[in-house]
Amino acid sequence: MKTQSIPSRSSSPESKGRDMGASSRHDVHRLIGRRAVQRWERSVVGDLLYRLCWSMPDKEAIVGGAGAYCYPEFSRLTYRAADALANRIANALIARGQRQGDRLLFVCDNSVEAYVAKIGAAKAGIVCAPINPKLAEDALDHLLTLTEPAFAIVDAEHWQTVEAMLRRHGIEGAIIPIGGDVVPERWITFADFVADSPETEPDVEIHADDIWQLMPTSGTTSLPKAVMQSHAYAYAAANSYVLVYTRGIRFESDLRTCVALPLIYHATDQAHSFPVFFAGGTLIIGRSTRASDVAELVSGERATALFGGSSHLLRAVADAAIAERCDLSTLSLIIYTWTPVPPEVLATLKRLCGPQLLLCGHLGQTEVLATTRFWPDKTPETYFATAPYINNVGVPCPYLAAAVMTEDGRLLDPNEAGQPGEVVYRTPAIASGYYRDEAATAAAFRDGWFHSGDCCAYDDDGMLVMLDRFKDVIKSGGENVSSGRVEAVLALHDAIDKAAVVGLVHPKWGEAVTAFVRLRDGECCTEEELAAFVRQRLARFEVPKAIRFVESFPETVGGKVLKHLLRAEHVDLYRTEGAGR
């Protein structure tokens, strides 16, 4: 068999091992029921880096920002080096008895080592089972019992938090010595784990429909579920975003995407990092989400795109860039989510980055990563007339069918503006279900659609407007109040850093609109001042009956407030303090 090679380099992809199955029979008879599992045809996460070794092997693929790598030799990896490391990880897992379909636990924040380890696991057909290190003990125990990981990769700085739990479940593994140098008995450092492992491709048959990752939900109402994400899901998610991320750059391979939000235990990996490899660009990994650190990373690495998460973080990054004199002029795209970006924040970002900057808002979730799109520059009249009071999330991307469904299962016509319902989805970029939870899976996929739990409506132009999570809609005095709308208005006040609004039991109103706010450093404000501020901008029934100041919020990894914890902590507020306004 004649083979190709990359000249003058002994570490070419072909030299790492022949394409598996090259001698197998080709099925030239069946037109249906086929399975693309051979190296020359399959769509699997483990091949993302490998393919780029044939076109741009020496281009930087992955760059670790400050603190986002442990070993200097892994701080900046070319496609060739990243793929070689992923192979070493895959073979090291196999050598330690890990089998295809086994689960690999990750207790890690962002680092090059942990990120490439996920791709290495995928090469071996091993299923990644990442968890948020900040989860409560009962949630951690639940996820370990559910996923039954056979091996673990853990950051040293998290060892003390999870040690007892891992020993109780009999889990051993490798330590990434970030934030400490502990090496527990029967464990091994990451460097020693891969030290003698070969760079050859593992010989494993993998299909696109196989599950490559079990991603926990945020568990905002109950214990987390494990979302089953297939290789096909990951490819569809990445493909649905790659055109967005390459806006404003001359060639697709000029893409330099910066992501400081969690990549290891959040679906950010597939939607906001994998598109880099579909474009042949460079992924810049940050570990800290401090606004000044993000601004400096974008500036220092000349990023062209940023996954910015919430509008709150974007405002903080803009402020930090001004204070630290960071150059953000290379940015041509910022993607945001959850809440609308206020026009003054957009104006500041354009002033810092230049007129070429585009912002793109989206609505999605762990189970569905082909999302809606809202471009403020595409519909400026709508944006400036509504932001940040109304959360326009645009229209479905081409990979997504999205509709608004009423309680009786009727799909609303886009002309039925203003009528609320649940947004439902159909797309290839959709989860396969909730691992070992048939009831929750059946409930989520009823009526032939995935049910998001998000309450949306159409506007007069047929675009989707996010009203609230159904569980967060406040029913007060016969009116439905969007907590997100009240939060957006509170966030306009100069003294407020962050706001969360919930409904609490009230003797008169049924549920009372109740606001919790965190002030910016050095700012002061009274409840009466804030009440007067929102009263000028909201309907009477939307004005909070009480406003309480807090130092911090219980939050998910993505910065979403865990409102069920707020409600539980303050459930007796109106019983102990009276009926409020």
Alpha carbons 157 and 177: distance in angstroms, whole number: 8
- Confidence grade of residue 577 (pLDDT, cut at 50, 70, 90): low
Angle at CA 291, nearest 5°, toward 285 and 297?
Answer: 35
Nearest to 274 by CA among 229, 310, 314, 315: 229
- pLDDT of amino acid 579: 54
Alpha carbons 122 and 130: distance in angstroms, whole number: 13
Q: Which residue has the higher pLDDT, 18 or 469?
A: 469
- Confidence grade of residue 24 (pLDDT, cut at 50, 70, 90): low
Residue range 484-500: mean pLDDT, rounded: 91
177: Cα separation from own chain's centroid: 25
Backbone angles phi, psi at 209, to 5 degrees: -85, -5
**pLDDT above 90 covers what percent of the chain?**
76
Mean pLDDT taken over the chain: 91
- pLDDT of amino acid 15: 45
- Confidence grade of residue 467 (pLDDT, cut at 50, 70, 90): confident
Report how far apart the first and last C-alpha atoms of the chain are (Å, whole number): 82
For the segment 425-445, what is each residue's pLDDT rounded down to a tens digit? 999 999 999 999 999 999 999
pTM, two decimal places: 0.86
- pLDDT of amino acid 289: 93
- pLDDT of amino acid 8: 36
Q: Which residue has the higher pLDDT, 555 or 580?
A: 555
- pLDDT of amino acid 168: 95
Report in angstroms the alpha-carbon separations of 3 from 8, 18, 46, 172.
Answer: 15, 9, 21, 40
Range from 11-15, 212-216, 263-267, 307-311 carrying the lowest mean pLDDT = 11-15
Say if CB 368 and CB 357 are below 8 A apart.
Answer: no
- Confidence grade of residue 271 (pLDDT, cut at 50, 70, 90): very high
- pLDDT of amino acid 281: 98
**pLDDT above 70 covers what percent of the chain?**
93
Nearest to 117 by CA among 131, 130, 99, 101: 130
Residue 12 pLDDT exceeds 90: no
Say if CB 114 and CB 124 are below 8 A apart.
Answer: no
Q: Which residue has the higher pLDDT, 281 or 467?
A: 281
Q: Which residue has the higher pLDDT, 538 or 473?
A: 538
For the segment 323-366, what is each residue's pLDDT rounded down to a tens digit? 999 999 999 999 998 788 999 999 999 999 999 999 999 999 99
For the segment 526-570, what is each residue's pLDDT rounded down to a tens digit? 999 999 999 998 888 889 999 999 999 988 666 778 887 888 899
For the segment 48-75, what is each residue's pLDDT rounded down to a tens digit? 999 999 999 999 999 999 999 999 999 9
- pLDDT of amino acid 20: 42
- pLDDT of amino acid 221: 53
Nearest to 187 by CA among 211, 214, 162: 162
For the segment 86-131, what is each residue's pLDDT rounded down to a tens digit? 999 999 999 999 999 999 999 999 999 999 999 999 999 999 999 9
Residue 282 pLDDT exceeds 70: yes
Alpha helix ranges (H) inside 376-445: 380-386, 438-444
For the segment 210-253, what is each residue's pLDDT rounded down to a tens digit? 999 999 987 555 688 999 999 999 999 999 999 999 999 999 99
Alpha carbons 254 and 249: distance in angstroms, whole number: 7
Residue range 143-158: mean pLDDT, rounded: 97
Residue 17 pLDDT exceeds 80: no
- pLDDT of amino acid 539: 82
- pLDDT of amino acid 10: 43
- pLDDT of amino acid 351: 97
Residue 1 pLDDT exceeds 50: no
Give the number of other CB atoms < 10 A from CB of residue 478: 8
- Confidence grade of residue 5 (pLDDT, cut at 50, 70, 90): very low
Place of tokens 């990359």: 6
Residue 414 pLDDT exceeds 60: yes
For the segment 362-400, what is each residue's pLDDT rounded down to a tens digit? 999 999 999 999 999 999 999 999 998 888 999 999 999
- Confidence grade of residue 6 (pLDDT, cut at 50, 70, 90): very low
Say if CB 427 and CB 236 are below 8 A apart.
Answer: yes
- pLDDT of amino acid 9: 45
- pLDDT of amino acid 506: 87
Residue 312 pLDDT exceeds 60: yes
Distant-in-sequence, close-in-space partners of 548: CB < 8 Å, separation ≥ 6: 514, 515, 516, 517, 527, 570, 573
Maximum average pLDDT range among 436-445, 465-474, 489-498: 436-445
* Side-chain-side CA neighbours of residue 283 (13 Å): 34
